[in-house]
Amino acid sequence: MWLYLSFEGYFQMRMATDPDPSDEPRGVSGYTFALAGEPDFDNLVHLQPDEEGVCERHFGYGKNDNGPRVGVSVTQANWFDDEKLVYRQAPEYLGARVSFVKAQLTERNGIVIRNDLFAIDPLRVQVRKKRGALVIDREDFLDPKNPGLPITQATSEMLERRQPQGLTDSSVEVAKATGLPDASNDSCINNRRIRQRNLEELLKHTRNPVERAALETRISQLNILRRWWDLSQGGKPIDRRAHQLTLQAYGWAVDINGTVHVNKIGADENVNWTLSFWMGGWDGDALCAYISGYLSIPVTSET
């Protein structure tokens, strides 16, 4: 018997971007910033809004305050009898909240870290039912023979388990998931212009000087939608502030192999569980992106 849990939603990762080093706490030379009134970056992958370190922003005034909101949950849940080859719905897990505890996705820039060090670490997966009961909690080890191995000492083969298989530009799948009309450059640029107009309206109704300073920075960044300084592609290729909205990192497939801390579903703890997902649609203004995937768990007894 197997339990399949499909999940999706927005996550937040407050981090510096190139050419800033990955441990820059505020953002200086890249295009992401810890703004006035906000705490330092923590570089963690937050799948739930109540996790320590989440700092959600406003995206407009009144009804226009719509944008990515943190929250990843189970959207489909099924039991699969692998002997009878029969699927059956598992509604008791619909809406369950998925978390990656203290996970960090290292940003690669090839200067301050290894070129192959684009991997998620640590990786510990939790699933909580809608009412808050923790039903699954298992961690993965880069090297099961050395559970405490730091990522900086892992081999390339060990890291491959925690890495995407590739990147897709202008992903239709990402555009559909995040509500863009299509995956074209024009749609990405138009999305940023709408966000800028909404922030300008919010600024008109904001009196707090700290909040105004933060909004002014965001509005100025949303002016940069074309790389006007890049003459190699005709002078105005799309800037990453807009381009990243349809960029997809796909093919994560982790055979979770480590300690099981909580098991309320009758899972088989002696075999690996499969975690598969993609991430994409990075919104540098919201410091959020989309994740979609599934967790496949063999069970010894249905509970």
The answer as to whether 205 is a domain residue is: no
Whether 111 has a pLDDT exceeding 50, the answer reads no
The answer as to whether 275 is a domain residue is: yes
Q: Give me the pLDDT at residue 116, please.
A: 56
Distance of CA 301 to the CA centre of its chain: 32
The answer as to whether 286 is a domain residue is: yes
Q: Give me the pLDDT at residue 84, please.
A: 77
Mean of pLDDT over the chain: 92
Domain count, the chain: 1
The answer as to whether 50 is a domain residue is: yes
Whether 25 has a pLDDT exceeding 90, the answer reads yes
Other C-beta atoms lying within 10 Å of the C-beta of residue 55: 16
Q: Model confidence over 187-198: pLDDT tens digits?
A: 999 999 999 999
The answer as to whether 233 is a domain residue is: no
Q: Model confidence over 73-84: pLDDT tens digits?
A: 999 999 998 877
The answer as to whether 229 is a domain residue is: no
Q: Model confidence over 44-91: pLDDT tens digits?
A: 999 999 999 999 999 999 999 999 999 999 999 999 988 777 889 999
Q: Which structural domain, as residue segments, surrounds residue 47?
A: 2-166+250-298
User: What value does the CA radius of gyration of the chain take, rounded to a whole number of Å?
Assistant: 20
The answer as to whether 137 is a domain residue is: yes
- Residues contacting residue 93 through CB under 8 Å, at least 6 positions apart: 3, 5, 74, 77, 127, 129, 135
Q: Model confidence over 254-271: pLDDT tens digits?
A: 999 999 999 999 999 999
CA dist 124 and 258 (Å) reads 9
Q: Model confidence over 156-172: pLDDT tens digits?
A: 899 999 999 999 999 99
Other C-beta atoms lying within 10 Å of the C-beta of residue 25: 14
What would the mean pLDDT of 23-34 be, rounded to a whole number?
Answer: 93
Q: Give me the pLDDT at residue 130, please.
A: 85
Residues 217/203, Cβ–Cβ less than 8 Å = no
Whether 110 has a pLDDT exceeding 70, the answer reads no
The answer as to whether 303 is a domain residue is: no
CA dist 235 and 14 (Å) reads 30
Q: Given the structure tokens 């820059």, which residue do they identify?
A: 24
Q: Give me the pLDDT at residue 112, please.
A: 41
What would the mean pLDDT of 98-122 be, rounded to a whole number?
Answer: 73
Whether 303 has a pLDDT exceeding 80, the answer reads no
